[in-house]
Every structure is written in structure tokens, then in C-alpha cells.
Chains A and B, each alone.
Chain A
Amino acid sequence: MTTPIGLAAEDAAVYGYGIILAGSDASIIGAVRRELAAHRARRDAAEQLWPDAAPAPVGYLTGADTSTAPVLLAIRIESDCCEAWRAELGFASDSETRRFCLDALTASAIQLARWRTLIPGAPFEALPGFPPPA
């Protein structure tokens, strides 16, 4: 079984929040610690949901457009998680998996909105996980 994209996104989030933690100042370090724990718990729960899934391939969050600024990287992580769980929700064939995907999508959408309050003029997602309207 290949790695479900939701599980891969949570793996990337755990890795990414670890990087953010190292560069965080006092204003956000509490939120970063909380989110690191939340994504780690969700990653572990997703591994229980898909026990036969292969580990996520390494190399996430290494694109040229990946910001290293803590808040921007956190926004990118939550946005990626929204996209992954939105797609997983569409694939899911049983109610337990659908509920898990929806809860994960909602959690990332809330945190995405929270991080964006720190960026003046940042948009609010009408449909988290979907590309922005043209």
C-alpha cells in the first residue's frame, strides 16, 4: 500500500513544525509546540487507520518556494494538510475514514486561519484544501 496523502502530509507537518520550533520566538513558540503535538498525534492516529501504509517518502518541504520564515512555513504546512485531507475525504469509502479526514481537514483549516491572523491582509479560505478561485 502506498502512503495515503493525508498521512504523508502529517509526517511532513511533524518534520516542518520541528524546524519551526528551532526558529520560533517567544510570541509563537507555545502555539508551535501545541501544533507539533497535535500533528504528531494525528500522524500516529493516521498510522493506526492505515496500518499497512508504507512510510512517507522523505524530501518533503524542500521545494524552492518553501519559506523558512516560521509563520509562513506554518501556513504552508497547514495549507498542505488541508489539501491532502480534502482529497482523502473524496477517496474515503467508509464512515470512520471520512470522519477522520473531515476532523483533520477542520483542524488544519482552523490553524491555517489562526496563523494567517499574524499576516496583515492574508486571505481567509472559503474552501480550505481547494485551489483559490481564479
Chain B
Amino acid sequence: MPSSSPTLMTRRRFLGVTAGAAGLLAAPGCALPEPDDTPDPVLDLVLSAERDAREFAVADSAHGDHVVALHRLADVRRIQAGQLEAALTSPRQTPTPAPSADSPEPVRCPPVDEVRTRLRADIATATEVALAESGIRAELAGAVAASCTAAVEVLLT
């Protein structure tokens, strides 16, 4: 007679079921894939390009003769961020919004010396990515490294 009462599992049966499940997981080809928690290195390039695009765009008279170059560089970094984002291996997670402050920090463009230092750090990161990757991701990272080097050597001299 069918019964709706829960079936009691004997100790022997429990051990058999759990051992079977463990064997299934351990069997080659049947194991569940480990989630890859390694951050995509291209994401670092996207985030720094977005930050630069935002901040260089507000360069003002305090930046002297470099205002036009910084505004131009803001456009360059915006284009780079967009193309790099399209090359991410997985869609970017929307960051959790920070608790709202009374007055948000105003966007400011750093002094030109700091801009150069920042770009050199981005060149180093983009170079690492270009040398480690292949295909379009290597090409994009390499182009970003080359463009930022040209910016430091020519645009910001």
C-alpha cells in the first residue's frame, strides 16, 4: 500500500547513496566544473580607462597648456573603455551602489604629473595582458599600451 509517510533511510542505504553521489562527482567527465573566480585582467583595463575618461574630461585652466591634450585623452580613454568592455570574457556585474553620501565627491582631473604616472601603470597592465592573451584581447590590450605610451611621449610633453 502506498504511504505518504517519509521513508526512513537505513544507515547502510545512506552510505550507499552518498558514496554513489561522491563517485559520480569524482568520475572524469562527470565532475561539475569549478567556478572560475579569477578576475578578468581586461576588466582592470576597462575600469581605469573609464576613470580616466571621466576625470580627464574635467581638466581646466589649472592644467595650463595641457587642457586640450587632456580633453582629447579623455575621448581616447572613453573609446578604449568601450572596445575593451566588448572583449570581456563574461558580462560585467553591476557593482553594488555605495551608501549614499551627503555630498558626492566632485570629479577632478589630477595634475599632469599624476596623469603620466597613472598612464604608465596602465601601460604596464595592458602590456601584461597583451603578452599573456591572444587574438582580439591581445590586440586590444597591445593597442591600448601603444596609445597610452604615445600619449605620455607625445601628447603630454
Contact = CB atoms under 8 A, between A and B. Distances in A.
For B76, B145, B147, B151, the residue with the greatest tally of chain A CB atoms inside 10 Å of its CB is B147
Contacts, number: 92
16 contacts: A86-B139, A95-B131, A102-B131, A102-B142, A106-B149, A109-B149, A110-B149, A110-B154, A113-B150, A113-B151, A113-B154, A114-B154, A126-B80, A128-B147, A129-B146, A130-B143
Interface residues of B, number: 29
A110 B139 contact: no
B79 A98 contact: no
A106 B138 contact: no
Interface string A102-113: 100110111011
Given A106-B149, A129-B142, 9 more contacts: A82-B146, A95-B131, A109-B147, A113-B153, A113-B154, A117-B154, A124-B72, A126-B77, A130-B83
A93 B134 contact: yes
B127 interface: yes
Contacts of B153: 110, 113
A133 interface: yes
Interface string B120-157: 00000001001100111011101111110111011100
A92 B151 CA distance: 26
Contact of A90 (B72, B136, B149): B136
Interface string A85-102: 011011011010011011
B85 interface: no
Given A102-B131, A126-B79, A110 B150 contact: yes
